Structure 1
Amino acid sequence: MDLWYTEKQTDNFGITMKVTRTYENEQTDFQHLTMIETEEWGTMLTLDGMVMTSVRDEFVYHEMVAHPALVTHPNPENVLVVGGGDGGVIREVMKHPKVKKAVLVDIDGKVIEYSKKYLPTIAGELDNPRVEVIVGDGYMHIAKHKNAYDVIMVDSTEPVGPAVELFSKGFYQGIYEALKEDGIFVAQTDNPWFKADLIQTVNRDVKEIFPIVRVYGANIPTYPSGLWTFTMGSKKHDPLAVEAASIPEFETKYYTPRLHAAAFVLPKFVEDLVK
């Protein structure tokens, strides 16, 4: 008998995949966590019934959270990642030698624990001496660290459960205050097919706080609709002003210097959402 995992992405649509093994199936203090082995996507982490990451396509999301902001900021020495307990964004951040310290704050220590155990190619840099891992509330961490970071990256789940406050205007204001005078922040902002209202709300809120706001996209097949957006807020530096020739070389599978500017070219219906 075959076992299949299905993520119900809307009331009328979902994705499904064949599962060959279940490693963990646990209700943590914050969310329902599963770590499964899938035939098509390899080892996969899900939280509250939503795919967070899989071995086969994880590089797209993690590279696109990290690199556009880090190449836009001229000297990103201190970086904060809120969420992201699987370690993928931290892995990409560590590819930038200008980063002296990266702090990861995830509210659920089980995500970190199981990612280290079952997703070593993703979580492998969490023990890097340049990385500090904190199990705690990212919202409160930001509130207590004014003018502390050059770049802040919000690697959250969709706005359900413990992640709801990470999509609030108050959180974005806190991020602004936690950034230095030329700081940059980036957050995943879901997909335009099913969450158009969310993208519009986030874009409006961030524009009321940051002078430079850019939305960009990527293709991530295991995420709802496959088309995913990210929103960048910057106090000073515009990612569209970055020239491809100035971007240093580092190992990637999706992001490239030429892709940097292209990622900010949105389909017309997405462009209309954020005008």
Structure 2
Amino acid sequence: MDSYIKGYFCEHELGDDNDKIIRAVKCDKLIHQENTGMQELVVFDSDALGRCLALDGAMQLTEKDESSYQEMISFLALNSHPDPKKVLIVGGGDGGVIRECLKHHCVEEITLCEIDKRVVELSKKYLPFMSSSFDHPKVTVNIGDGYAFIRENKNAFDIIITDSSDPKGPAVSLFQRDYYKSLHECLRSGGIISCQAETIWYHLSLIKFLHTTASEFFKTVAYATTMVPTYPSGQIGFLLACKDQRINFDVPFHKFTEEQVDEMKLKYYSTEIHQAAFVLPTFVRKALQLAETP
């Protein structure tokens, strides 16, 4: 907590200029800090942002803006599938994606695979606004390697959401070619993936790699964006892909009325936001078009 400015949580941006850009958030109260054996975990309070969680020096969520990430990584996929009954979440030990998936009326079963049990335990203790749905009867929690679980389960899920941290430490394998091959094999026909896919401003080469890699296995691939002010550059994206069908991700199968949005207590997602999420800046659109070229 005292790496550069006393009393502030300081984060290096992950990318080519990671020694040149540092973000700092005032830590008004340190709640918990430990090495879990897999990663360094910190929970603290910020007067400006509310309760915050960081892993290995990278901000994972703040109470202020977590909805823009949790809702989008979940509903972009769920609302692009006509009948998503079985959902697998890889990572997501804070419980936010579970919370959002349970809002979708079609979902009957949710399986979460989190490799670090302390993330789940401490989220239950310190992040009740995220973790309140862990004990829901539709939810099964597996503490273990999500990648191994995917390899062991073929043709099993309608939706797979990879809610991972950055590609370092325990999350490195989730950004590699074999992982996307295994995702394809784990999905049922018509199945859809939604994967955390970094920011266009610092990680465009990685996004191009992921887009090209997914295109080897999936019939339709797209990149969507959302705004999260406390993440690097204030923007983060998701790689969406459909196993064996040509679909338009920017035309959601399920569309919400304003009454439904209010009923589900959504703060960020709407049908209009869904459609807009796939409108990319010119430099990104051109980079991904080049990535599709053999």
TM-score strictly above 0.5:
yes
Q: C-alpha offsets along residues 21-59 of structure 1, whole Å, 9 cap, x if unaligned? A: 111111112111111111221111100000001111100
Task: Identify the match of residue 10 of structure 2 among 3, 6, 16.
Answer: 6
Match for residue 75 of structure 2? 67
- 2:89 is matched with 81
Q: Is structure 2 residue 157 aligned with structure 1 residue 143? A: no
How far apart are the structure 1 equivalents of 2:183 and 2:91? 14
Counterpart position of 2:277: 263
Alignment partner of 1:212 is 2:220: yes
Residues 41 and 56 of structure 2 are in contact (CA less than 8 Å); yes or no, is this contact kept in structure 1? yes
Gapped regions of structure 1 (runs ≥ 5): none
Q: In the TM superposition, what whole-angstrom CA distance separates every residue of 1:165-193 from its partner, at most 9, and x where no partner exists?
A: 00011000100000001100010100011
Root mean square deviation, CA, Å: 1.4
Deviation (angstroms), 1:243? 6.0
CA contact (8 A) 2:111 2:141 kept: yes
1:242 aligns with 2:256: no
Q: State how far apart, in whole Å, the 1-side matches of 2:202 and 2:65 are.
A: 21
Query: Structure 2 stretches of 5 or more lacking a match?
Result: 290-294
Aligned to 1:253: 267
- CA–CA separation in structure 1 for the residues paired with 2:59 and 2:143: 21
**Deviation sequence 1:224-250 (CA, Å, 0-9, x none):** 001111110102243234367x44623
Alpha-carbon distance between aligned partners in 2 of 1:183 and 1:141, rounded to the nearest angstrom: 17
Return the structure number with greater strand share: 1
Spell out, residue by residue over 1:110-145, the C-alpha distance to the aligned partner (whole angstroms, 9 max, x if none): 000111111101111111111011110000000000
Task: Tell me if the contact between 2:160 and 2:187 (Cα under 8 Å) persists in the aligned partners.
Answer: yes
What does residue 121 of structure 1 align with?
129
Aligned-residue sequence identity (percent) comes to: 38
* 1:29 aligned to which of 30, 33, 37: 37
**Preserved contact between residue 105 and residue 137 of structure 1 (Cα < 8 Å):** yes
Distance 1:42 1:107 in 2: 26
Partner-residue secondary structure (3-state), 2:79: helix
Distance 1:238 1:128 in 2: 32
Aligned residue among 161, 169, 177 for 1:169: 177
How far, CA to CA, are the matches of 1:267 and 1:17 in structure 2? 28
Q: TM-score, normalised by structure 2?
A: 0.90
Q: TM-score scaled by structure 1?
A: 0.96
Structure 2 vs 1, CA of residues 84 and 243 (structure 1 numbering), >3 Å: closer, same or farther? closer
Q: How many residues align?
A: 274
| Alpha-carbon distance in 2 for matches of 1:243, 1:152 | 17
Query: In the aligned structure 2, how far is the partner of 1:119 from the partner of 1:62?
Result: 14
